[in-house]
Structure 1
């Protein structure tokens, strides 16, 4: 299976860096080497000050053999999310793709290194319910095209003993109602949980609902572009997924992976 797209990348990493040739060119070079022919850059909205649309267009035009989309990851950061949302609203027409994600429960950045201790402070079921509620609020707020790493809350391997899917059922229903896509991300394979996002049970349920799928590595360096795509290919085959969602100007098209050689 030829997986040719990666719709979750962070050229800025986790710090504010201005867009320019020095920052962006290594990403197109690495994508080309990995056989990734269409990708979206999706830096966190808290670093939007580094996003320069003119620099992006110049970079895209220098790499005409690749399809490069302009995106952003909009999350629920309690300090920055309202400013980030306002930036997305102002620049909606300049963006191709907006990911939505939950990285905070209140002021707790639960997925950061060293934050696993927080999972022992209250029942895991309560944490999952709060996480699912935060996801619903994110979807209801709008201004997103796709949900990123839907079950990120499992990052350190903590999960309820029973009824895992039940925490995400309402979120999936709401995503279908809002016509959102769902990301399958290889990033979980390099995290303590050691499995892709989201859980296979969630993916199967999303497919039953007709929710389209994007593919992603959540790369924070060029070396992570397309990481673990061999394992992803096996996962897609096992789940019977043979098509991928692509975006341009927030308009979605579905492309069979079998057609990748003709793109």
Structure 2
């Protein structure tokens, strides 16, 4: 069974294509399940302070949910559509995040850390934020946020758990202890992670997480799902064959799927 659980579309502003374009691409390519999982609207940055095209406007969130549910019925029997959300973790905004998660019938919610304060570490337009910054301290802040996200109980799995490496900025010091602490928090919370293949087309040239961290996740008994993190319909499933091979090498033989916030493992 082939699945892709991490996708974005035009509502978020920095992707292209309508939701239906991704569904049709999934049908053409023979996907069994597609997870539509666009970004949660930003809660901690005023819209007038956004960089252009950063996130879905709040008023679009119910329209997004409604459209996914309509597409699920329209294409029933051709592809299994799951309603997802990539829900940012922002320290200090736990209650508004909880309210969004509890307001809609999600099949799954991805817990991702993109922001340290108002700085989006995953935005190529904001890489100047690394200038003059203590990289080890930045990695410590990032993984502390991942740990706190895992402990909220809000999310079904952590997305691109080591995305801090995205643009190739890394401290000289070893950060294995930070990575392992984050994985330990995920394991203690009974959560999963994703293997996000998109890093192969980014400056880091490595999936999220990388091989060592993925193998450690398997040793800790952390289950995994898989996603391309595509922002264009034609990139649906991009690098997922490589991701499945990486999972086999790490010792995995199952992927998680989700429905109504419940887990359903499948062999691959």
Paired with 1:80 and 1:202, the residues of 2 have a C-alpha distance of 28
What displacement does 1:26 show?
1.0
1:15 to 13, 18, 24: 13
CA contact (8 A) 1:75 1:81 kept: no
Q: How far is 1:27 from its partner?
A: 1.1
Q: 2:23 aligns with which of 20, 28, 31?
A: 28
What is the root-mean-square deviation in Å for CA atoms of aligned residues?
A: 2.3
Contact 1:8 1:216 in 2 (8 A): yes
Are 2:183 and 1:188 aligned?
no
Distance 1:135 1:166 in 2: 14
Q: For residue 117 of structure 1, report the CA deviation from its aligned partner.
A: 2.6
Question: 105, 126, 149: which one pairs with 1:138?
Answer: 149
Separation in 1, partners of 2:9, 2:36: 7
- Gap regions ≥5 residues in structure 2: 42-55
Q: 2:137 aligns with which of 126, 136, 155?
A: 126
Give the alignment of 1:1-263 within 5 angstroms: 4-12=2-10, 14-15=12-13, 23-46=18-41, 47=56, 48-50=58-60, 51-52=62-63, 53-64=65-76, 65-76=78-89, 83-91=96-104, 94-257=105-268
Give the count of matched residue pairs: 249
Sort the Cα spacing of 1:166 and 1:229 in 2 relative to 1 into closer, same or farther, 3 A: same
Say which SS state the counterpart of residue 69 (structure 1) adopts: strand
3-state SS of paired residue (2:25): helix
Alignment check: 8 A CA contact 2:39 2:85 kept: yes
Change (3 A) 1:56 1:122: closer
Q: Displacement of 1:11 after TM fit?
A: 2.1
Does the Cα contact within 8 Å between 1:42 and 1:70 map onto a contact in 2? Answer: yes
Q: How far apart are 1:103 and its partner, in Å? A: 0.6
**TM-score, scaled to structure 2:** 0.85
> Hey, what's the Cα distance between the residues in 1 that align with 2:166 and 2:138?
13
3-state DSSP of counterpart to 2:195: strand
Question: How far, CA to CA, are the matches of 1:187 and 1:82 in structure 2?
Answer: 30
| Whole-angstrom CA distance in 2 between matches of 1:207 and 1:141 | 22
Question: Which runs of at least 4 in structure 1 moved beyond 4 Å after TM superposition?
Answer: 77-82
Report if the CA contact (8 A) 2:112-2:158 is conserved.
Answer: yes
Residues 13 and 220, structure 1, Cα contact 8 Å, conserved in 2:
no
Task: After TM superposition, give the deviation of residue 238 of structure 1 in Å.
Answer: 2.4
Paired residues of 2:91 and 2:145 also in contact (CA < 8 A): no
Query: Is residue 136–residue 174 contact of structure 1 (8 Å, CA) maintained in 2?
Result: yes
CA pair 192-13 structure 1, distance change in 2 beyond 3 A: farther
